Structure 1
């Protein structure tokens, strides 16, 4: 019955039960072995620590001995500084020597002859235990410390130095010897202190004791060493420790060993003492340590068993709890399985879509390149191919950036930088990027700026650009030809305080719209709307997920409203910190102006903006209405000082309206064209029609102020941008780039502007070229990041570390495809001044060089 019941158990349950039993047995065995192993390792470790401890103490005592002996020899040298005036002044000499010895606390003083005979001057007669060896050392000019005895048999420590003084017997001395009782050495070396873990002996090279500790456990060991070293018994066989220690004594080397003595272990450590033939031996019995180790081992075993028991109890509780959670866990696993399948399917669909979308611009690039090669003499055809290649390249770059950004987001590595930016420059740049896309689909692109008083803010400009581009690119892609797109910016007070401003961004289109079901998943990765409706629209399905993540990271909000076939509107808000700006009084004379645009809201916001800079303005919504109003004001003698005409008007465009106004009023009144489109294509026609200049939408306060103030009489119009006027003639640039094709591109672009470029194939060559160049030779260094031999980070750091003034001042600009915020921050930390992304945008590079050189 039991067997049958057991067989019916779930295989997973059986596996868990047997696993638990095996784990139980394994845990007991493992913890037991661990306790035994730790006891053994603890014993080895304590012995090793004992050896290190003894080594340190011996070294300390040796240094202490050396310093005390050196002090005593200095005192003896102070005694022998006496020089007799003549040979008959021996008594005076002796009195002076004795006096100096007494002052220096010596108890004995004697002269030593070359034969080793001692003549006592003070204290009891003294004699070294080995007079011949002592005299020989003094004859050799050595300072010598030795043990001797006085006439009463007391042991003394002798300090001898070489000196020639007359002795009583008429001979000249070989040295002067001062002495103190043996207790002096015993005391300062603490050799007889009680209660110490270590005790000490001092022995001679033959193993005999100079100073002997009362502890007798090693006396027999040293007696055997003396027999081993006795010439009469040199062939006597000896145990290995005795022979090794004897060899260490003879060669005056350090020695360490653990000996078995009387059933116990002791550790000895020997070291030679300077200025003598003495050898210091420290001894540490392991009796106390063994008791401590055994006690510690017992406690460890008890604690190990307790720990094992606790672990097993906890494992049992966990095991029991697991059974009660099995059903719910299986359900959760099933849900996770379904979620994983859904994610896998989404990623598979994404890969299929992205594969198609990447191949589409790639096919265009390859195809247009082939067409251009086939029509190499047809300039117009080549220009057409290059435009399409450029457009396809930008689209391909956008797809790649989306995938890379999503990878950063999923790994949690997407970071923000906080830079001072101009909202005007950001929007101007966005307009310039969107113009070709809008123009290609013949769409209407309106931009409204309402009450933007704070143009300079702290923000991640790259990520703000990315949000705007994602929203506007989607609006363009999903709006059919002839549709309309509107970008609106407005400002209000921020709840964060006076130092912040809340910016509202609206992107609205009248495109295909989105279904309510898709709106629920619009911010999910790899999601795209119904394939049948967008099968010809390229995209990665990542743009909105990235946009949502960036907006959330920047502390903003994003909302969307949409209806199928009616269009979509996104509303984004950011609370941005105000940035300091150059104080300029944005005020113009109280002119009367006329604004002509078919967008009523645009006219209202432009009039409000003009009013804020001191200008009174009227508006009308068509060219015909504007012509009638201007003629009427002319007849009344109340002229408009300046007229702003939109290029695209419903009845007649701005150029036609300008011609009609000139025909009736002449050339006195300045007429300016306003548009969100590039006016280079119709500039010639516009100037022939009498239009004086062009103002690009959006119309910020600063845009209107700087565009209109040239008509105050103190400035002349400037029709070219700073980038167009910028000249790099005479500038020398060092470009570090390992890719030859990238070098050719950069060289061609910058050479056209007059710059002279030097090429460094990697970071190491870049560093060497800069080192070899004269000071101030290079005006700027363009630095790639990923290069062989030395990266751009390493090269920039090395250049900044050079000992020359221009190494710290020369601008270094990173020019790399590593474009994430942490990459940019790394460049700045390595000493670079700025960063520009590849592929190179010549306008952005020019602006950066202007900031660098101006």
Structure 2
């Protein structure tokens, strides 16, 4: 036994020693693999950085070369133009021409329509042009204005003109840039001295200038396509612009650099000016007016021209990181796969987990933002509902005051319903589940229905609502009346909402024929107001969800910022267009165009004007209604509403009980079924399908009206496909119930 134990101890010692060695080997192997990976990563990273730095240097060098090419192009162009002026001056002087003869000579010899010349009298700086201005005048006043105006800029222009006048043959000076009166054209010019015959065998020296439009020279500058943000300017040694690029807003180039880099440090600006004057070219790095780091390459035209070309490009356009990570990925991936495959999988899993966590965090942030955006507008009407309900309970003995409280509860509830509908609509649209239901409808009835809803809101604020319906070719059209109603209602609601008390809202609707389609008509809807208007900045994002203008007045107006987003996307769904013209404090005009199908034959729409329901005393006491509703509170509401009009009703708590109640009742007892959709045991659509298959003709043909909170267009379509005659959305509108009851009372089941 002792011997066996001794063997076991020896074996354990050997095993432990082997395990320890194996662990050390594994550790060393792992360490070796890690070192290989690190070396591979650092090597490939270093290679990529080196490659990218070379690429950046090459791109920057190409940018500088491109700028130099434009300088050479400009320089050749200016020397060529100076050559024209020298030839003209020599010929005019040699032939002892008068100024009239000289002008006619230049007019005849000048073949380039966008070039012309000025003859400037250097005594009083009056000038004559070779072309007339818009008023037919040949005289030019801009040089005399330079002479008479006591500013540094004008003094500099006169000094340049004098330098040109005194220059030797072959020297090129540029006078620029300035605006020629009459022609309203910005130019630069080159010139020389010319002698003109002034009579009595006398000659007088004039300054002959050849004018070059700045726009022509700008159009000749074109960077390669990879330098989309690059710009070019021309300056003189004082930093004054000869040609100014769009982004350089200041008076001079040095003012621009100082304003966005040195503020009031004139010493650094002077150092920059001296550096540019003392060198032929150079590369600078400063910030632009967007506070972005930019490269500025300058190159001199030489001392004779006193010009410098400035090429400008944001650093990010040159230093775009485009490292060759494919090499890194191949090396690291191979090493990882051969050495620590398990670790690779773990990292991959961790990456997916981090990605999922990031997506979850983004979703949580989106949810928080959504709730934060809408929380205030939900709580406001809810506060009205709960607060006024509590107040009404304390004034049960005052019916008049309690009625006012309930009216306010009703208004707050309607606002809350509108809010919920907007949220659900935008959710459906953005998820691509919004459906358009095409059916015939009466345009007149649609307009009347919308106006009947909006007019009380306008009258409450003392706003004049003007409705113009004209040039109506077809009253009956084919479209989605629900969505058309929604577009018009939202436009009018916004117009009333954002128009001050006593303002005016115009609703104009008209039709016009399409030149190439006889089966459609173009419907034009215009909603205009003289309200608070919108800024141009807000108009750029006004169709985004949850977007509202930030204004002390709009902040007091309840709304989700979904109205315009819903309008825009509904118009797009109906293949229409919408246009907006608005100015702050002057009002807004929205114009919607929709191409809708027309009906060649008038079709009966079986519509009932809700406003006329209270004008006639209909007797509903003979009607018996079966209500399929599983919710006790909803049953109590519909029962109470129907009882006010002496309609008797019974309840079924699910679809199966509804069928049993109907089949067990005497024939003809029930005139109508109000059917909820989402019920236990058997839902409303399944119950309707079973009823429509019943052998008894009375049961099979009984009118069934959906009364449900499923209120989208696809829900309405599904109800009709199940066999229902009509659809009433919750919360229940009693006018819609009465319209259905009148139809049943008349035994006319065309809903």
TM-score, normalising length: structure 1: 0.45
Q: Is the 8 A contact 2:628 2:653 kept in 1?
A: yes
Q: What is the DSSP-based 3-state SS (H/G/I as helix, E as strand, rest coil) of the residue aligned with 2:518? A: coil
What's 2:489 paired with? 469
CA distance in 2, matches of 1:573, 1:427: 16
What's 1:760 paired with? 652
CA distance in 1, matches of 2:511, 2:449: 20
Give the count of matched residue pairs: 414
Q: Find out whether 1:373 has 2:389 as its counterpart.
A: no
Query: 1:517/1:777 Cα in 2 relative to 1: closer, same or farther (>3 Å)?
Result: same
1:552-701 correspondence to structure 2 within 5 Å: 552-579=572-599, 582=602
What's 1:529 paired with? 549
What's 2:374 paired with? 354
Specify which structure has the bigger relative contact order, considering alpha-carbon pairs within 8 angstroms and separated by 6 or more residues. Answer: 2
Q: Is the 8 A contact 1:485 1:509 kept in 2?
A: yes
Shift of 1:396: 0.5
Shift of 1:357: 0.5
What's 1:6 paired with? 40
Shift of 1:503: 1.3
CA distance in 2, matches of 1:495, 1:20: 67
Unaligned 5+ runs, structure 1:
28-332, 585-702, 708-718
CA distance in 2, matches of 1:430, 1:416: 19
Query: 1:514/1:435 Cα in 2 relative to 1: closer, same or farther (>3 Å)?
Result: same
Of stretches 507-516 and 571-580 in structure 1, the one that deviates more from structure 2 is: 571-580
Shift of 1:841: 0.9
Output one character per residue of 1:457-513: Cα deviation in whole Å (capped at 9) or x when no partner. Answer: 111111111111111111111111111111111111134622322111111111111
1:213-228 correspondence to structure 2 within 5 Å: none
Output one character per residue of 1:240-288: Cα deviation in whole Å (capped at 9) or x when no partner. Answer: xxxxxxxxxxxxxxxxxxxxxxxxxxxxxxxxxxxxxxxxxxxxxxxxx
What's 1:506 paired with? 526
Find 1:838's aligned residue among 706, 712, 730: 730
What's 2:684 paired with? 792
Shift of 1:774: 2.4
Query: 1:568/1:18 Cα in 2 relative to 1: closer, same or farther (>3 Å)?
Result: same
Q: Is the 8 A contact 1:733 1:781 kept in 2?
A: yes
CA distance in 2, matches of 1:496, 1:754: 55
What's 2:626 paired with? 734
What's 1:482 paired with? 502
Bigger CA radius of gyration: 1
Output one character per residue of 1:662-699: Cα deviation in whole Å (capped at 9) or x when no partner. Answer: xxxxxxxxxxxxxxxxxxxxxxxxxxxxxxxxxxxxxx
Shift of 1:12: 10
Q: Find out whether 1:745 has 2:637 as its counterpart.
A: yes
Shift of 1:753: 2.1
Q: Is the 8 A contact 1:816 1:838 kept in 2?
A: yes
Q: Is the 8 A contact 2:40 2:331 kept in 1?
A: no
CA distance in 1, matches of 2:337, 2:697: 69
Q: What is the DSSP-based 3-state SS (H/G/I as helix, E as strand, rest coil) of the residue aligned with 2:724? A: coil
Output one character per residue of 1:722-777: Cα deviation in whole Å (capped at 9) or x when no partner. Answer: 77443322111111111111112111222222321111111121111112122322
1:154-303 correspondence to structure 2 within 5 Å: none
1:395-410 correspondence to structure 2 within 5 Å: 395-410=415-430
Q: Find out whether 1:782 has 2:670 as its counterpart.
A: no
What's 1:426 paired with? 446
Query: 1:837/1:583 Cα in 2 relative to 1: closer, same or farther (>3 Å)?
Result: closer
Q: Is the 8 A contact 1:493 1:501 kept in 2?
A: yes
CA distance in 2, matches of 1:417, 1:512: 35
Q: Is the 8 A contact 2:377 2:559 kept in 1?
A: yes
Q: Is the 8 A contact 1:723 1:847 kept in 2?
A: no
CA distance in 1, matches of 2:327, 2:644: 78
Q: Is the 8 A contact 1:781 1:811 kept in 2?
A: yes
Unaligned 5+ runs, structure 2:
1-34, 46-324, 342-354
Q: What is the DSSP-based 3-state SS (H/G/I as helix, E as strand, rest coil) of the residue aligned with 2:469? A: strand
Q: What is the DSSP-based 3-state SS (H/G/I as helix, E as strand, rest coil) of the residue aligned with 1:535? A: helix
Q: Is the 8 A contact 1:457 1:579 kept in 2?
A: yes
What's 1:810 paired with? 702
Output one character per residue of 1:14-60: Cα deviation in whole Å (capped at 9) or x when no partner. Answer: 67655457779999xxxxxxxxxxxxxxxxxxxxxxxxxxxxxxxxx
CA distance in 2, matches of 1:581, 1:20: 75
CA distance in 2, matches of 1:788, 1:455: 44
CA distance in 2, matches of 1:13, 1:531: 54
Q: What is the DSSP-based 3-state SS (H/G/I as helix, E as strand, rest coil) of the residue aligned with 2:670? A: coil
Q: Is the 8 A contact 2:635 2:651 kept in 1?
A: yes
Q: Is the 8 A contact 1:451 1:491 kept in 2?
A: yes
CA distance in 2, matches of 1:808, 1:4: 80
CA distance in 2, matches of 1:789, 1:2: 67
Shift of 1:456: 1.3
What's 1:801 paired with? 693
What's 1:821 paired with? 713
Q: Is the 8 A contact 2:476 2:602 kept in 1?
A: no
CA distance in 1, matches of 2:489, 2:527: 10
CA distance in 1, matches of 2:37, 2:441: 79
Q: What is the DSSP-based 3-state SS (H/G/I as helix, E as strand, rest coil) of the residue aligned with 1:498? A: strand
CA distance in 1, matches of 2:740, 2:462: 33
Q: Is the 8 A contact 2:41 2:332 kept in 1?
A: no
Shift of 1:346: 7.9
Q: Is the 8 A contact 1:723 1:846 kept in 2?
A: no
CA distance in 1, matches of 2:336, 2:689: 58
Q: What is the DSSP-based 3-state SS (H/G/I as helix, E as strand, rest coil) of the residue aligned with 1:568? A: strand
CA distance in 1, matches of 2:378, 2:650: 35
Query: 1:850/1:2 Cα in 2 relative to 1: closer, same or farther (>3 Å)?
Result: same
CA distance in 2, matches of 1:21, 1:851: 80
1:12-91 correspondence to structure 2 within 5 Å: 17=331, 19=333
Shift of 1:402: 0.8
What's 1:159 paired with? none
Q: Find out whether 1:389 has 2:409 as its counterpart.
A: yes
Query: 1:13/1:848 Cα in 2 relative to 1: closer, same or farther (>3 Å)?
Result: farther
CA distance in 2, matches of 1:551, 1:523: 12
What's 1:156 paired with? none
Q: What is the DSSP-based 3-state SS (H/G/I as helix, E as strand, rest coil) of the residue aligned with 2:517? A: coil
CA distance in 1, matches of 2:569, 2:443: 21
Root mean square deviation of aligned Cα: 3.4
CA distance in 2, matches of 1:6, 1:392: 68
Output one character per residue of 1:821-854: Cα deviation in whole Å (capped at 9) or x when no partner. Answer: 1111111111111111111111122223334433
Shift of 1:571: 0.4
CA distance in 2, matches of 1:377, 1:13: 85
Query: 1:754/1:517 Cα in 2 relative to 1: closer, same or farther (>3 Å)?
Result: same
Q: Find out whether 1:449 has 2:469 as its counterpart.
A: yes
